[in-house]
């Protein structure tokens, strides 16, 4: 009896804690990816939980990618992970297409997920824009592949930015429906981990849109490959309002651009937004922006320098990805096989 209660209140108690997260190698790795994902992966590494980080190249091609650019962006992303502090010995780092179990599991999930669920995904609506009939089938099916990325490792925790919340809910729905339809407790109900001061870094051009790799305006984001001058210029030109910083967080309500810069400062400095406001209350952006630029340059320059150093040894990056893929497959293969057994696929 007490076991049953425990299973109900902590559905993942039977699963070993395991972290999974992915980033698309769609170029232009940016400050939002760093604060919402990479920095948090590096910070979490010391917790001693097995962590699997994936360059999701199969997601990237849901919109057309030039092949040479895709290969380069995948290696650059791997360099970005390492430069941000993710250790390929402690964590498993690889690119998705080298582990075929992701797409094999995705097919099973395509048959579990319902059309109505997929049609509610706001990211598809945003990315397909007004041209949904001309979007790829892959862009529509992407969240089922993402569920497979996570569940093929029985991952219990997924650190992501706020924009991925809906996809994580879909992952939980798919796990729940699979478990229910087959009468098993096989997949964990994964917890999204959306934490920190900058879970949603906004565009520098428009405080209501998230900073994105795929935004056509380079001024909308700080790329991790930007040099000190570019970083300072982009912050100086970031859209703001004419008022000084208020003396409480309350005063940032309805000021999305100002709020964004305060949140970025807080996340880079490992402070809370309240602490940043306490330190900078009453400042004009003419004063606050240069402080933010100095901080951003101090934190990001070592990363971009390390990324370009790592990029000079392509062979080493490819070896890291290959070794990571082998380690990933050791976990994924038995889980996929068990899934096939549950579903009734013959494996001889």
Binding site for ligand ATP (CB under 6 A): 21, 23-24, 26, 32-33, 35-37, 160-161, 163-164, 199-201, 210-214
170 φ, ψ to 5°? -65, -40
The least CB distance from residue 95 to ligand ATP, in Å, is 13
Which positions ≥6 away from 295 have C-beta within 8 Å?
265, 268, 269
Residue 26 or 304 with smaller CB distance to ligand ATP: 26
Contact of 150 with 17, CB cutoff 8 Å:
no
The H or E element spanning position 93 is strand 92-95
The least CB distance from residue 61 to ligand ATP, in Å, is 11
Which residue of the set 39, 213, 289, 299 is catalytic?
A: 213
Round to whole Å and give the CA distance between 166 and 188: 17
Residue nearest ligand ATP, Cβ-based: 36
Strands 50-55 and 18-23: parallel
Which residue of the set 125, 165, 210, 239 is catalytic?
A: 210
Nearest to 261 by CA among 282, 278, 297, 236: 236
Residue with tokens 């964590």: 91
Residue 24 or 240 with smaller CB distance to ligand ATP: 24
274 φ, ψ to 5°? -60, -45
51 φ, ψ to 5°? -125, 135
Contact of 266 with 327, CB cutoff 8 Å:
no
3 state SS of 202: strand
Residue 63 or 342 with smaller CB distance to ligand ATP: 63
Annotated active-site residue 234? The verdict is: no
The least CB distance from residue 113 to ligand ATP, in Å, is 19
Round to whole Å and give the CA distance between 34 and 42: 10
Round to whole Å and give the CA distance between 250 and 342: 52
Residue 96 or 212 with smaller CB distance to ligand ATP: 212
Which positions ≥6 away from 194 have C-beta within 8 Å?
159, 160, 161, 162, 164, 165
Residue 79 or 108 with smaller CB distance to ligand ATP: 79
The least CB distance from residue 270 to ligand ATP, in Å, is 16
Round to whole Å and give the CA distance between 118 and 107: 14
3 state SS of 126: helix
Annotated active-site residue 239? The verdict is: no
The least CB distance from residue 306 to ligand ATP, in Å, is 19
User: What's the burial of 48, exposed, middle or buried (CB within 10 Å: 0-12/13-18/19+)?
Assistant: exposed
Residue 27 or 188 with smaller CB distance to ligand ATP: 27
The least CB distance from residue 60 to ligand ATP, in Å, is 7
Which residue of the set 90, 125, 127, 233 is catalytic?
A: 127
The least CB distance from residue 178 to ligand ATP, in Å, is 24
Contact of 262 with 295, CB cutoff 8 Å:
no
Annotated active-site residue 299? The verdict is: no
Active site residues: 127, 210, 213
């Amino acid at each position: 009896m007490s076991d049953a209660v425990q299973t109900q209140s902590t559905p993942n108690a039977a699963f070993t804690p395991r972290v999974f997260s992915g980033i698309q190698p769609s170029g232009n790795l940016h400050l939002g990816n760093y604060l919402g994902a990479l920095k948090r992966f590096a910070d979490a590494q010391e917790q001693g939980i097995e962590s699997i980080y994936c360059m999701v190249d199969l997601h990237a091609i849901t919109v057309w990618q030039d092949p040479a650019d895709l290969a380069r962006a995948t290696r650059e992303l791997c360099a970005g992970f390492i430069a941000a502090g993710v250790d390929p010995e402690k964590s498993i780092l690889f690119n998705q297409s080298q582990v075929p179990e992701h797409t094999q599991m995705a097919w099973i999930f395509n048959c579990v997920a319902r059309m109505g669920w997929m049609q509610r995904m706001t990211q598809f609506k945003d990315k397909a824009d007004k041209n949904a009939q001309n979007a790829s089938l892959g862009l529509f099916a992407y969240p089922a592949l993402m569920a497979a990325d996570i569940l093929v490792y029985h991952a219990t925790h997924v650190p992501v930015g706020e924009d991925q919340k809906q996809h994580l809910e879909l992952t939980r729905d798919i796990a729940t429906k699979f478990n229910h339809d087959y009468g098993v407790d096989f997949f964990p109900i994964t917890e999204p981990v959306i934490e920190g001061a900058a879970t949603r870094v906004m565009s520098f051009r428009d405080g209501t849109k998230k900073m994105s790799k795929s935004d056509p305006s380079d001024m909308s984001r700080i790329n991790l490959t930007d040099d000190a001058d570019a970083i300072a210029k982009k912050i100086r030109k970031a859209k703001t309002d004419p008022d000084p910083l208020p003396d409480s967080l309350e005063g940032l309500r309805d000021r999305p651009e100002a709020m964004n810069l305060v949140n970025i400062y807080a996340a880079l400095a490992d402070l809370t937004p309240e602490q940043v406001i306490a330190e900078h209350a009453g400042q004009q952006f003419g004063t606050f922006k240069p402080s933010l630029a100095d901080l951003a340059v101090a934190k990001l320059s070592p990363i971009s320098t390390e990324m370009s150093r790592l990029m000079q040894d392509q062979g080493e990056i490819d070896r890291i990805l290959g070794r990571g893929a082998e380690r990933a497959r050791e976990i994924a293969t038995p889980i996929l096989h068990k899934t096939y057994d549950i579903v009734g696929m013959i494996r001889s």
